């Protein structure tokens, strides 16, 4: 990937409109640079805006980056990182404070992250304001120290996307070719989904 996120100050109304701001790279052109620090990204895969904050899943650096306000100038450093203890480490891991190839993000008071490589979704009960903040709840696993893939109402396999209307939670469970719906964002780890879309039951995971 280009290792960057493009920001348009207004939603484009014509084809080919140039972006106003680039973050993750020093400029709009030139050699791609991948460095684990607050300004660079490597294969960003999920973007969300909530409460004026910009949140990006920086997948190949195994972290989620948070800007306290939407950047208005290019190459601005993020303010907070989760999934890593600081901005200079970038190893994958398995705990309440580490991630492995996060993809999708959603936030609105809470932060929800599809931690794809760990076959789980992480929930922070508040949007983190300090580096390395731990997740509060794990979905798809019962513990923060396991990452077994599975096909059931309580298991996930390579989840990629997360979304909520503030109450219900949807998870795109990529490896099981389904979407799981939870009537509420879980408050305890290991919670089961209430509804499955794309399969006839919770035990099926074949494409079709």
Segment 58-83, tens digit of pLDDT: 999 999 999 999 999 999 999 999 99
What integer is the mean pLDDT of 115-123?
Answer: 98
Give mean pLDDT, residues 155-175: 97
3-state secondary structure of 175: helix
Would you call 174 helix, strand, or coil by DSSP? helix
% residues pLDDT > 70 (the chain): 100
pTM: 0.96
- Is the pLDDT at 197 greater than 90, yes or no? yes
At 197 the three-state DSSP class reads strand
- Residues 190 and 154: their CA atoms lie apart, in Å, by 6
How does residue 7 score in pLDDT terms, banded at 50, 70 and 90? very high
Cα distances from 152 to residues 19, 91, 104, 112, 179, in angstroms, run 43, 29, 21, 20, 12
Q: Are residues 143 and 135 in contact, defined by beta-carbon separation less than 8 angstroms? A: no
What's the average model confidence in pLDDT over 112-132?
Answer: 98
Closest CA to 59 of 72, 78, 46: 46
């Amino acid at each position: 990937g280009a290792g960057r996120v493009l920001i348009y100050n207004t939603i484009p109304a014509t084809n080919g409109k140039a972006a106003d701001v680039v973050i993750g790279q020093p400029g709009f052109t030139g050699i791609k640079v991948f460095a684990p620090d607050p300004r660079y990204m490597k294969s960003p895969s999920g973007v969300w805006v909530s409460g004026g904050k910009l949140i990006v899943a920086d997948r190949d650096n195994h972290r989620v980056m948070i800007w306290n306000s939407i950047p208005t100038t290019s190459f601005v450093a993020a303010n907070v990182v989760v999934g890593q203890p600081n901005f200079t480490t970038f190893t994958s891991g398995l705990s309440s404070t580490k991630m492995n190839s996060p993809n999708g993000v959603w936030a609105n008071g809470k932060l929800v992250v599809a931690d794809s490589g760990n076959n789980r979704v992480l929930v922070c009960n508040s949007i983190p304001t300090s580096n390395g903040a731990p997740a509060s709840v794990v979905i798809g696993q019962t513990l923060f120290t396991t990452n077994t893939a599975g096909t059931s109402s309580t298991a996930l396999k390579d989840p990629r996307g997360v979304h909520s209307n503030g109450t219900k939670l949807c998870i795109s469970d990529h490896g099981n070719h389904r979407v799981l719906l939870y009537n509420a964002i879980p408050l305890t780890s290991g919670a089961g989904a209430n509804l499955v879309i794309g399969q006839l039951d919770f035990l099926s995971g074949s494409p079709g």
